Structure 1
């Protein structure tokens, strides 16, 4: 009996699917055979450097595809007939409705494909077209930084372009900021649930997490001060507007109190603010209230389209911006000059504002649909945002619910994915934007509503 050497298939949409796809490929190639026993889930998680939840999702998906059998007290084994009969497509395993990826919806009022095609065409037809096909500085071009300053002004006020960087997405920006500010063993404070991308950075860099209590209004200032006194964090990470997953938005008063506490304890703030442009009510960013200690990250992927992998970063000072540029130079080098030029064109012409407004309108329609199908008393949401924080009824555990939902054809994300404490919140994040249209979304939400009302399934799952 051979022992499978776990791996993650390249170009997989999600890590857990990458594990399943690698397993399928190794079975078909004969690297492992029907009847072979798979390594324990924890061993696979350690070997791949992923959390146990990811491997558990992979095993559940493998069972759903008919690839493996779990035998009580003995382990998990490769199945026979389904693997031999494998055909591309029949066991592709893609969820019927993927509500796991938190992306903005495709608004009916704007043809994004047309806008992108026309915008890039205009950029390449312009007098500076060749410059957009060459290497540029790690800070981004001056024209792009000036446009970024104009885009951010309603929330940040006047920002010198010397403090601004144009980078290739928020994830690379977060890694570069952490690389600039933190060393292994340093403590980073964050809400009790937080962005999984930050959790990846924390694990990669060997940082220590200090969870801060949250309520329906977001991070609790008094709890943050307690963490400052007890744990002496170097940095606070916060998503101030339409937090993912909780959907909470910090009030201006709470932002000011948190900023004052951070300054008092000499703590830097990493402000990850991807959803703020979607909100009708504009609140001042931490980068406006405490510009001297705040590193502001504003991606366009969450308020416009993931295809526009551009994020604007505001550092506390020009010197800090140069420090950050050095970190970016050693990782992603620079943002795509062509995408940066497209973002600049959209900002200057008002196209980006129109796209955001259209997405906000589409979000409102989808939120209304969710309230009608699931019941707004069952979830937290921001009316301008495109995700829900769906609270589990007492008979469900979030991980079991997510597993059953995916087996039934809908993918959602359980609270454990976001948790930085041993006891995850019993809730799942439901992303309304990833469904291609409202009809598909309606099917997915209806399935979730029906599943919530079925205690018989959950009783078996919890046991």
Structure 2
């Protein structure tokens, strides 16, 4: 541990910023070397006559800057700049240096920051004031919906601007769509292992959600048809691209079979296609096969940039008045300024550039998974943002989540994705894009692999 301690009289207010700046300068000057352990929070607080909370805030500032990192049970250490993210922000959850493999989100780095900074500079010089002053039309500005026509064609959907509603991402579109076509007590069917937000949303809206049996492609046509025979099914909600425990692409034949059943029993379809054009080769959307009864949702969030919360809802003309009414109640309209950024990036090719970058980086992460988890039962796809890891019989999902947490790794348990009809699922979901640096990602997988090779132990021995 370092013996370097700043002096109390050198501090200014706010104290935590001043402490962080002194430590930053010491790291830059080489007074604190790479790998050196910083003083414990209490020790530094006592030496400087400040609160432990103040020191914690100072360390948090340095962690966010990527200069230091915590290791569970060991302390806080100076990081090697060459081994940390060079971006001016950190995606990784910083609480005690947790390697967060629990949230399926895309990667990003300085390329994204540079593109966003350039876009904001352009907006400051040539943005039409109508964009940031707009409060109508509620479905979105015409030029933004026209850009949506271009983006949606990359997703395999050919539509007119008149059928497009701008949204603040797929989650916004999902709540708008479902509340437009289903009422309390109506039955919605989906995969037995489902999108966790459709489970929550149906519960909030008082809608009865029924999970249908599935295979590696998704919902089984026979299960869908049987549900339609037994019940008055109102909506079929599906994520046919890289979802479910198999993380696979639903085939063209399966999509066509499900559409035939939906038409036969007059069931509406809500298709969540959040990954948009990220998979390089895939069948056309279900909504392209049945545009008269489908609501299609996609966004830029998962395949271009996490903070670019702009998306599209495509619906038949007959549903647009109801959808617009729900949109007004929930948010009045999607944020025009964000829609403007997305539209510009679609037109100038930036969105395509970032999709290609994302596709390449996610494929590299899957290569790491294939190396580290050789011999274990896992399912994934080179364009997916997560994998499902099926556990050896000595482990339960709850045990592995708890033991991984004790080692500083966060993985997602299956329960949030399981409908009421789902049989127990002994697996965990592992995100491949939540950790910015590939070495940290590999480290997280290595720790999990080490757990899988042995039996669970009493957790107090690990804490």
Q: Using a 3 Å threshold, how does the CA distance of structure 1 residues 187 and 122 change in structure 2: closer, same or farther?
A: same
Asked whether the equivalents of residues 217 and 249 of structure 2 are also in contact (C-alpha less than 8 Å), the reply is yes
Q: Distance in 2 between matches of 1:94 and 1:143?
A: 45
Secondary structure of the residue aligned to 1:292 is helix
Show CA shifts across 1:81-116 (max 9, x none).
Answer: xxx988846998455201111111126xx6101111
Give 1:426's aligned residue: 426
Residues 376 and 295 (structure 1), Cα distance of their counterparts in 2 relative to 1, 3 Å cut: farther
Residue 405 of structure 1, CA deviation = 1.0
Partner of 2:377: 378
State the match for 2:149 in structure 1: 149
Which has the larger displacement, 427-436 or 275-284? 275-284
Q: Match of 1:272? A: 272
* Distance of aligned partners of 1:130 and 1:163 in 2 relative to their CA distance in 1, 3 Å threshold: closer
- Residue-by-residue CA offset, 1:347-390 (whole Å, 9 max, x unaligned): 00111011001000001110000110112752111112221111
Query: SS at 1:325's partner residue?
Result: helix
Deviation at 1:140, TM superposition (A): 0.8
- Whole-Å separation in 2 of the counterparts to 1:240 and 1:198: 14
Q: Which residue of 1 aligns with 2:327?
A: 328
Separation in structure 1 between the aligned mates of residue 114 and residue 318 of structure 2, nearest angstrom: 40
Hey, what's the Cα distance between the residues in 1 that align with 2:245 and 2:111?
28
Could you say which residue in structure 1 is the equivalent of 2:177?
A: 177
Which string of whole-angstrom CA distances, capped at 9 and with x for unpartnered residues, describes residues 168-192 of structure 1? 1111211111111111111110101
CA drift of 1:245 comes to: 4.9
Q: In the aligned structure 1, how far is the partner of 2:389 from the partner of 2:304?
A: 24
Distance 2:262 2:460 in 1: 46
What is the distance in 1 between the residues matched to 2:458 and 2:127? 62
CA deviation after TM superposition for structure 1 residue 460, in Å: 11
Q: How does 1:330-369 map to 2 (within 5 A)?
A: 330-369=329-368
Matched, 1:106 2:108: yes
8 Å CA contact retained: 2:156, 2:285: yes
Q: Which runs of 5+ in 1 are unaligned?
A: 1-83
Q: Are 2:255 and 1:255 aligned?
A: yes
Verify the 8 A CA contact 1:393 1:452 in the aligned structure 2.
Answer: yes
The alignment yields a C-alpha RMSD, in angstroms, of 2.3
The answer to whether the Cα contact below 8 Å between 2:155 and 2:285 also exists between their aligned partners in 1 is: yes
- Which deviations, in whole Å up to 9, do the C-alpha atoms of 1:140-191 show, x marking residues without a partner? 1111111111111144442011110111111121111111111111111010
Number of positions where the alignment pairs a residue of Structure 1 with one of Structure 2:
375
Q: Offset of 1:127 from its aligned partner?
A: 5.2
Partner of 2:136 in structure 1? 136
User: For residues 113 and 399 of structure 1, what CA distance do their matches in structure 2 show?
Assistant: 37
Query: Residue 234 of structure 1 aligns to a residue in which SS?
Result: strand
User: By how many angstroms is 1:123 displaced?
Assistant: 2.6
- Residues 321-355 of structure 1 deviation map (CA, whole Å, 9 limit, x = unaligned): 23211101101222111110000000001110110
Distance in 2 (alpha carbons) for counterparts of 1:319 and 1:212: 28
Q: 1:238: which partner in 2? A: 238
Q: How does 1:268-307 map to 2 (within 5 A)?
A: 268-307=268-307
**Does structure 1 retain, via aligned residues, the 8 Å contact 2:404–2:448?**
yes
Q: Which residue of 2 aligns with 1:193?
A: 193
Q: Larger deviation: 414-423 or 444-453?
A: 414-423
Task: Flag the 1:159–1:225 CA change in 2: closer, same or farther, 3 A.
Answer: same
**1:116 alignment partner in structure 2:** 116
C-alpha displacement of 1:451: 1.2
Q: Secondary structure at the match of 2:337?
A: helix
Q: Show the counterpart of 2:409.
A: 410
Q: Which residue of 1 aligns with 2:40?
A: none
Q: Report the Cα offset of residue 312 of structure 1.
A: 0.7
Evaluate the alpha carbon distance shift between residue 457 and residue 348 of structure 1 in structure 2; reply closer, same or farther with a 3 A threshold: same
Contact 1:190 1:237 in 2 (8 A): yes
